[in-house]
Amino acid sequence: MGLRIHFVVDPHGWCCMGLIVFVWLYNIIIIPKIVLFPHYEEGHIPGILIIIFYGISIFCLVALVRASITDPGRLPENPKIPHGEREFWELCNKCNLMRPKRSHHCSRCGHCVRRMDHHCPWINNCVGEDNHWLFLQLCFYTELLTCYALMFAFCHYYYFLPLKKRNLDLFVVRHELAIMRLAAFMGITMWIGITGLFYTQLIGIITDTTSIEKMSNCCEEISRPRKPWQQTFSEVFGTRWKILWFIPFRQRQPLRIPYHFANHV
């Protein structure tokens, strides 16, 4: 499947995504400048910790960008319905187009999305069948990066040896306490929010239920776990190779499972 670019024109979404990028930039600039590089130069930490920090940061940014611009599963105006699956399609009462069951019409984007979970302003895009795996990676790497940054901020004051070489002419050194307090505040806020979101996403995949289905509370059968968790995760990530679930650089190849199987098995 080729990469399909999807761009949502929404100023509110742009502001939310810009805030996320600001927090990301703030941490990857401040934490290395104040904590990682000074302690590495004085031999307090190995260089591999810096490499891991930047590696997680890159994976997080790639997942964010790709989740934002990847087509979440927008349905074409004239979809080709397999002859044996017509009974598992329905008419959308908002755009008057045929769509597979478990699809949903996004009022903000103005079209139907296959297996839509929700519209996320933080990525300025819907979370649907084709980019849900990227959204999960974004949650995972954001959680990991936040914990990693908070751990280094804590160790900088309470575990590492005091720095001997400090250039007080640098702005970040003179105002270190205020800068680190702001970084800690953003990190804790981000960690609390992303932990709750990531947990609900994992539960939704395990139970094979989207966020919209949970809120509508109209699909009791869908809310019951019917498949092994390995199968539901494989369907979301498009592969049964678990190591590939953590790689945001690849192209997702959806498992060819009929819509009626996803709805009735």
* Residues carrying an active site annotation: 120
Answer for the pair 74, 64: CB distance below 8 angstroms, yes or no: no
Q: Which residues of 38-70 are buried (b: 16+ CB within 10 A; e: fewer)?
A: bbeeeebbeeeebeebeebbebbbbbbbbbbbb
Q: Which of 23, 29, 27, 39 is nearest to 156 (CA)?
A: 39
Task: Specify the DSSP class assigned to residue 154.
Answer: H
CB neighbours of residue 263 within 10 Å: 15
What is the 3-class SS of 55-101, one letter each residue? HHHHHHHHHHHHHHHECCCECCCCCCCCHHHHHHEEECCCCCCEEEC
The CA distance from 142 to 140, in Å, is 6
